[in-house]
Amino acid sequence: MHSCTQCEKHFTTEHYLRQHMNVQGSKYKCTECGKCFRSKLDLTAHSRSHSGEKPFECTVCSKRFAQSAHLVYHSRIHNGEKPFKCPECDKAFSQSGHLTTHMRVHTRDKPYKCSLCDKRFSRSGSLQGHKHYVHSNRRPFDCRYCGKMFKRSHHLKLHVYTHTGAKPYSCRHCSDCFTFHTQLKAHLLKSHNEGTWFTCHICQKKFSRSGDLMKHSLRHEGVKLYVCSECPMSFFTASNMKRHQLKHSDFRQFCCGSCGKY
């Protein structure tokens, strides 16, 4: 743990401690939101987020930005520059923050903790998604074909593909098309060797997604993170636990059309 010398706060990484120390030493305060900055220049750049002013324009697509640094990040979309390289694998990133997040695949650092169930995450976005999916019952998006409800519009969009049969993701090397982007990504790796494999350092098994590798690694370590709330049984994956929990409920999803047995 990294501790602040001016207060009693503790942080999981030196990066978060530095961010906190910068705020501690800030003397320029925004009159709109109260956020503080170390320099007047930083305050001026921040104030544009309230005024809507965007003086920095991309010469390729004319998109405008409030800060020059944001224009620099954006320009890498056009020139393909990825200066931040992972020391553990061959992946590279256009922003240092993206590399920091990626490194947690290797270090397994999970600095974001859910205040409701103590589950930890490597990204703040994953934590927010977890709270929305697990701890909220609000489902504002409904399917016009079957009435099924979803918490996110993106998930509804993917679900509708099962009704329409749409396959919007096409391979640029062959005629194969796919319903989901993850399927296309796996196809590019397996059929055209395009992309990055995630390899287990113990058994050398390869995965197309980093999350699948992390779940697989837990099996080598014998770690079962998911514990049934009804009995002492534990599982390597959330899907296996949910499948098991059906045994404790009266819900039966599949019914025989001939005899009605579930």
Render pLDDT for 96-135 as a digit per residue (tens, 0 to 9).
888 888 888 888 888 888 888 878 888 888 888 787 777 7
Q: How far apart are CA 34 and CA 22, in angstroms?
A: 15
Assess if residue 160 is contained within a domain: no
3 state DSSP class of 97: helix
pTM of the complete model: 0.42
Q: What are 35-85's pLDDT values in tens digits?
A: 777 778 878 888 888 888 888 899 988 888 888 888 888 898 888 888 989
Assess if residue 249 is contained within a domain: no
Assess if residue 49 is contained within a domain: yes
Structure tokens at 196: 């990055």
Q: Look up the CATH number of the domain holding residue 67.
A: 3.30.160.60
Assess if residue 46 is contained within a domain: yes
Structure tokens at 223: 């770690």
Q: How far apart are CA 135 and CA 149, in angstroms?
A: 16
Q: How confident is the model at residue 177 (pLDDT cuts 50, 70, 90)?
A: very high
Q: How far apart are CA 180 and CA 161, in angstroms?
A: 9
Tell me, what DSSP letter sits at residue 248?
G
What is the total count of domains within the chain? 1
Assess if residue 47 is contained within a domain: yes
Assess if residue 21 is contained within a domain: yes
Assess if residue 81 is contained within a domain: yes
**Per-residue pLDDT for 174 more than 90?**
yes
pLDDT averaged over every residue in the chain: 82
3 state DSSP class of 158: helix
Mean pLDDT value of segment 182-188: 89
Q: Which amino acid is at 219?
A: R
Assess if residue 213 is contained within a domain: no
- Domain range for 21 is 2-91+102-108
Cβ count near 127 (within 10 Å):
19
Q: What are 190-206's pLDDT values in tens digits?
A: 899 888 888 888 898 88
Q: Which range, of 48-57, 225-234, 244-253, averages the lowest pLDDT?
A: 244-253
